[in-house]
Structure formats: C-alpha cells, structure tokens
Amino acid sequence: DPAAVVGRDDAAVFDPESAARIARWDRETAAAGRPVTYEETLTAGGVTRTYQVTKAPYRDAADRVAGLVGISR
C-alpha cells in the first residue's frame, strides 16, 4: 500500500538490518558519484523480498551530490 511508505524513511519501513544495508548502499552510491544497479534482499513488515535497485546521485546547481534518486523493482 503506497500510504504505508510515502513520506516515511527507510528506518520506518524496513527492519533495522535492512535499513542499515540501504543506508550503506546510499553512502556508497553518493561516494561513487555515478548510477549503480544491484540486487538486494530486504525485510519489511515481516516479509522478505528481493529487489533490483538502480540509484543515482542527484546533483545541485554547483554539481555537488545533494541526494539520490532511484527505483526498485
């Protein structure tokens, strides 16, 4: 249900171990400065699923990494 995830951060959606892995991948993606695609197995609401994830740095007007954009399938 989209209402269960919209406006919530990873720690509020995923179990602590999964949220920590997501944060690690986010840091690594930002540091790489380029898009990355990977497969990740995460648990949310007691259900474990495997996702194909693509994330890329979002840059500000000064070309600094200001955040990430991504999609999971």
Would you tell me how many other CB atoms lie within 10 Å of the CB of residue 21? 16
Sign of the Cα pseudo-torsion (15, 17, 20, 22, in order): negative
Task: Let me know how long the chain is.
Answer: 73
The percent of residues above 70 in pLDDT, for the chain, comes to 100
Burial level of 22, CB count in 10 A (0-12/13-18/19+)? buried
Q: What is the pTM of this model?
A: 0.82
pLDDT at 16 over 90: yes
pLDDT of the residue at 5: 85
Instruction: Provide the 8-state DSSP code for 14.
Output: B
Residue 3: pLDDT band by 50, 70, 90 thresholds?
Answer: confident
- pLDDT tens figures, 18-67: 999 999 999 999 999 999 999 999 998 899 999 999 999 999 999 999 99
Confidence of residue 2 (pLDDT cuts 50, 70, 90): confident
